[in-house]
Amino acid sequence: MKKLSVAVAVCAILASSYASAEVRINGFASIVGGKSLDSDSTLYGYDDDISFKNESKFALQLSADLHEKLTATAQIIARGEDDFDATFEWAYVTYEYSDELQFSAGKMRVPFYKYSDFLDVGYAYRWVRPPKSVYGIPFSTYEGVSVVYSSQLGDWDSTLQGFYGAFDGDIDVFGTELPAELNNLGGINWSLSYDWFSARAAYIVADTSISSEDSGLIGLVSVLSDSGLTNTANDLITEEDKTSFVGVGFSIDYENFLFDAEYTQFEVEDSILPEQSQYYASVGYRIDSVIVHFTYEDNDDKHDSSRFNTIESIPTLNSAVNGALEGLRAQSNVYTIGARYDFHPSAAFKIDFSRFEDDITDTETDVVAVGVDLVF
């Protein structure tokens, strides 16, 4: 029997408290259209036919003040890429122990990045989409607990978050949707800000399992096991493997000048997944209600070379393992130029042109996207 969803439980709290609690409803939406400028290439889900479905979304957020420092929050989102089927993105309760300390439990956002809390709220950032080279981990929420401590360190505002929980769902692994579990998912996230400067750092760990049953990997693993190469076979399977994520970044918003940069590194030890490192740097300039910007992204996914040629005694299998590892290698750059125009207090028009350069295949793909982001 399936366990009761956290989202359903929080909604039950919201419904039962409606008569006695102040319920606030907010929302946001993005209407985005885009297309690839190359007839034989796709990028960000776009081909050479214009689509207004791929990155469009609509969401409602319900917050209930249950009194005595207790609140409940639920966010429902419908994405165009999922045929606008509505799902619960967030569903949690928060207890404010003091002005500095608060505890939360339920389904919440994993604090991987600076814009994690606003990942779907296009109005919160200047791009049509956050830089995908960095903002590319194929899941964004967890079910568990969180504690946040806010304080002053001299003239600096400090926010320290610790969290613990788990993720269970399907994730996109190099183009294939596979069932995955991340247990003992936890970490810390520390943000500092002073006037026009802010910085953050995050460290997250987990025990990761990803099913291989629906992938082409299972055949190779079986052959290796049958050949007595159990250790090599286990190295290709992602089963309760130690996982680590490190992220650092900083931002500047000085007069009309804007700058953002983030670096992340992600590794699942002893698995077929390569170590991933990526960063972006983005500069912008504000002219009244318009922001023009340029962003550079770099992505590098690769295995330690020492993992190759581990079974040279069986050339055919050695070649197959090397091919599987090398096939997941990725090295790319993205250049984006764009503009944002705040034509309304609650709406912004955006246009981005992105060029993706694949250093492995020596190919380029261009995508243009326009959109309107709303908050209400």
Q: Which two tokens stand for residue 75?
A: 């966010």
- Read out DSSP for 157-188? EEEEEEEEEEEEEEEEETTEEEEEEEEEEEEE
Tens-digit pLDDT profile for residues 212-256? 776 667 777 777 777 777 777 777 788 999 999 999 999 999 999
Cα–Cα distance, 183 to 175 (Å, whole number): 23
pLDDT confidence of residue 293? 98
Ramachandran class of 300: left when φ > 0, alpha when ψ lies in -120 to 50, beta otherwise: beta
Q: How far is CA 238 from the centre of its chain?
A: 20
pLDDT confidence of residue 1? 37
pLDDT confidence of residue 151? 97
CA angle 219, 223, 225 (to 5 degrees): 115
User: Bigger pLDDT: 344 or 1?
Assistant: 344
- Mean pLDDT for 198-219 is 86
Tens-digit pLDDT profile for residues 71-116? 999 999 999 999 999 999 999 999 999 999 999 999 999 999 999 9
Q: Which two tokens stand for residue 350?
A: 């955006």
CATH superfamily of 6-375: Porin (2.40.160.10)
pLDDT confidence of residue 216? 64
pLDDT confidence of residue 11? 55
Using an 8 Å Cβ cutoff, are 215 and 226 in contact? Answer: no
- pLDDT-based confidence at 14, cuts 50/70/90? low
pLDDT confidence of residue 13? 52
Cα first-last separation, the chain: 39
How is the chain split into domains, by residue range?
A: 6-375
pLDDT confidence of residue 215? 63
- Read out DSSP for 118-144? GTT-GGGSSSSS--TTTS--S--EEEE
Cα–Cα distance, 272 to 239 (Å, whole number): 11
Tens-digit pLDDT profile for residues 114-158? 999 999 999 999 999 999 999 999 999 999 999 999 999 999 999
- Mean pLDDT for 8-29 is 69
State pTM to two decimals.
0.89
pLDDT confidence of residue 136? 92
> Is residue 25 pLDDT above 80, yes or no?
yes
The single residue listed with the structure tokens 């994730």 is 171
pLDDT confidence of residue 227? 77
pLDDT confidence of residue 226? 73
Q: Which two tokens stand for residue 103?
A: 């505890």
Report phi then psi at 317, rounded to 5. Answer: -70, -40
Q: Which two tokens stand for residue 228?
A: 């007595």
